[in-house]
Amino acid sequence: MCSKEEEEESAYFDCLPDALLLLIFNKLHDLKSLTACLSVSKRFNALVPFADTVCISVPVLRQSISISSSYVNGVLRFFFLNLFLKPLRCFHRLTAPPKSTTRSFDLSCCRKDGVLKIFKEMKSLHLELPSDGELGSSYGASFLQWKAGFGSNLKTCIMVGAKSFRKCSREEEREEEFMEESGLNDDELKLRVIWTISCLISASTRHCMLKQILSENPNIPLLERVVISDSNKQGMFCVGKEELVEMRNSINLQQESSLSSPSPAMERSPVPELNVKLWYLPVLELPESGYVMKGATLVLIKPVADGMIEDDGGDPLVGDEKPFIEAVREMIKVKKSYLMTMSSF
């Protein structure tokens, strides 16, 4: 039995207009919470599908092995060894992946018959993947973050890395000022190339994941933005409205061509031939964030087809992570940079 006070509170809540309830649902945005609201009342059940913002925390499949680290390690080992003998343009020699990384995640809610299909008014989708460990720690980076933008292929990618990333006291800051600046030697440059490759592999894997989701959910015409990040906020994959249209057109063409010649399932999307510009500082102080980076590195990446990378003083992919923003802003001021070209892989 409901008390009189509870009945009055329920009556007041029922007086709220639909527009206000939708605003609440959009602020809620978590898929589990939204689906729970479907069972609250007939009114909630009718309004929840009109929410335009959905966030999904993607779990790992229990029966599957964790992400294919053997493949990533094998690819990186291949590049590291071949960099001694061949130029950077040899990057197209990649072995076929042993298994699909997308199967490591439980994307059942995003399948054709999943709960995502009810959100036909959805404009923004955010997928948060479980952390796969520290991506850079295995390769000598204590700080490694990246953001990538895609359409049908890679548009641009920005990466910030450092061998050491820590809070620094004033005394330590004075000591850093007396350190002599030096450029990158061959071993340090090769290490940065490995960081870059590991970020590109992660980004292209998420691109392949999104293509699978879009192909199974064609009835979400209002979708304008998709972000795929991870729980430790190391990498962010971003797609806007125009890029989503480009991806859908590409998917339709692939589906039409696959009717005559079915293409094999892929673990990740191919990375096109790239222009790479790299900045380096032995020590970078971030006074706003209160951190100091040693071996600070900024990498900007664009497809060769889009031309050379210009110094425009910023990048549209920079998000809301303060150390990342500050590091990009300071590093891009450095006059000396390294230019490279990577072949597609």
For residues 165 and 321, what is the distance between their CA atoms, to the nearest angstrom?
15
Domain ranges of the chain: 52-342
Q: 72: Cβ–Cβ under 8 A, 6 or more apart, which residues?
A: 198, 201
Contact between residue 345 and residue 94 where contact means Cβ atoms under 8 Å apart: yes
202 SS3 class: helix
- For residue 145, what pLDDT is reported? 92
Under DSSP, the state recorded for 317 is T
Under DSSP, the state recorded for 21 is H
Q: Where are the beta strands (DSSP E) in 101-142?
A: 124-129
Each residue's pLDDT tens digit, 205-261: 999 999 999 998 888 888 999 999 998 888 999 999 999 999 999 888 887 776 655
Element (H, E) at 190: helix 186-216
DSSP sequence for 210-273: HHHHHHH-TT-TT--EEEEEETT--EEEEE-HHHHHHHHHHHHHHHHHHTTSPPPP-SSPPP--
Model-level pTM greater than 0.85? Answer: no
Each residue's pLDDT tens digit, 250-289: 888 887 776 655 555 667 899 999 999 999 999 999 988 8
For residues 115 and 49, what is the distance between their CA atoms, to the nearest angstrom?
10
- For residue 84, what pLDDT is reported? 47
Each residue's pLDDT tens digit, 131-187: 765 566 666 788 899 999 999 999 999 999 999 888 876 555 545 444 445 678 888
Each residue's pLDDT tens digit, 45-99: 999 999 999 999 998 876 544 444 555 566 555 555 555 444 444 444 433 444 4
For residues 297 and 288, what is the distance between their CA atoms, to the nearest angstrom?
18
- For residue 237, what pLDDT is reported? 95
For residues 339 and 298, what is the distance between their CA atoms, to the nearest angstrom?
12
Average pLDDT over residues 305-329: 69
For 184, phi then psi, to 5°, come to -80, 130
